[in-house]
Amino acid sequence: MQAIHSLHDFFRLTGADVHLYHMGRRVHPCSLDTLADFEAGDVPWPEPWQGKARLAMVFRLGAMQDPLIWFLALPLDEQGLLDAAQRDAFLERLLSTLGRSAEQLEASAEDEIDNLMKDNPLAFTPSLAFQAVLHARASAELERPASEHLEPVEAFFAGQAGHDWQALGLQGLADYVVRLSTDTERQLRHAIPQLHSEVLTSLCYCLEHVAIDEAVADSLRQRGEQAARDGDIETYCACIRAVGGGSRRVAADWFDQLLADRHACGPDALAAMAARGWQHLEDAERLPRFLERLAANEEADFMALARDLAQIPRLRLPVLMTLRQAPEGSATASRLAIVKGRQGH
Q: Is 102 a residue whose pLDDT tops 50?
A: no
Q: Are residues 186 and 258 in the same domain?
A: yes
Residue 274, domain extent = 128-281
Confidence of residue 160 (pLDDT cuts 50, 70, 90): confident
Q: Are residues 63 and 132 in the same domain?
A: no
Q: Are residues 108 and 136 in the same domain?
A: no
Pick the last residue of a domain from 263, 281, 299.
Answer: 281
Q: Which one-letter DSSP state was computed for residue 58? A: E
Q: Are residues 171 and 107 in the same domain?
A: no
Short-list 145, 232, 231, 220, CA closest to 190: 220
Q: Tell me if 69 is assigned to some domain.
A: yes
How big is the chain, counted in residues?
345
Question: Region 218-237: what's the mean pLDDT?
Answer: 96
Confidence of residue 115 (pLDDT cuts 50, 70, 90): confident
Q: Are residues 106 and 133 in the same domain?
A: no
Q: Tell me if 177 is assigned to some domain.
A: yes
Count of the separate structural domains present in the chain: 2
Q: Tell me if 328 is assigned to some domain.
A: no
DSSP β-bridge partners for residue 153: none
Question: Region 163-183: what's the mean pLDDT?
Answer: 91
Q: Are residues 159 and 248 in the same domain?
A: yes
Round the average pLDDT of the chain to a whole number and report it: 91
- Class of residue 244 by CB neighbours under 10 A (exposed 0-12, middle 13-18, buried 19+): buried
Q: Tell me if 154 is assigned to some domain.
A: yes
Q: Are residues 244 and 271 in the same domain?
A: yes
Query: What is the spatial distance between Cα 157 and Cα 345, in angstroms, rounded to a whole number?
Result: 58
Q: Tell me if 322 is assigned to some domain.
A: no
Q: Tell me if 196 is assigned to some domain.
A: yes
Question: Region 46-62: what's the mean pLDDT?
Answer: 93
Query: What is the spatial distance between Cα 76 and Cα 157, in angstroms, rounded to a whole number?
Result: 42
Q: Tell me if 341 is assigned to some domain.
A: no
Pick the last residue of a domain from 46, 81, 115.
Answer: 115
Q: Are residues 11 and 109 in the same domain?
A: yes
Q: Are residues 106 and 42 in the same domain?
A: yes
Short-list 40, 43, 74, CA closest to 57: 74
Q: Are residues 135 and 251 in the same domain?
A: yes
Pick the last residue of a domain from 251, 281, 311.
Answer: 281
Look at 64 and 135; give whichever has higher pLDDT: 135
Q: Tell me if 308 is assigned to some domain.
A: no
pLDDT computed for residue 249 by the predictor: 87
Confidence of residue 217 (pLDDT cuts 50, 70, 90): very high
Q: Which one-letter DSSP state was computed for residue 228? A: H
pTM of the model: 0.91
Q: Are residues 147 and 264 in the same domain?
A: yes
Q: Are residues 184 and 99 in the same domain?
A: no
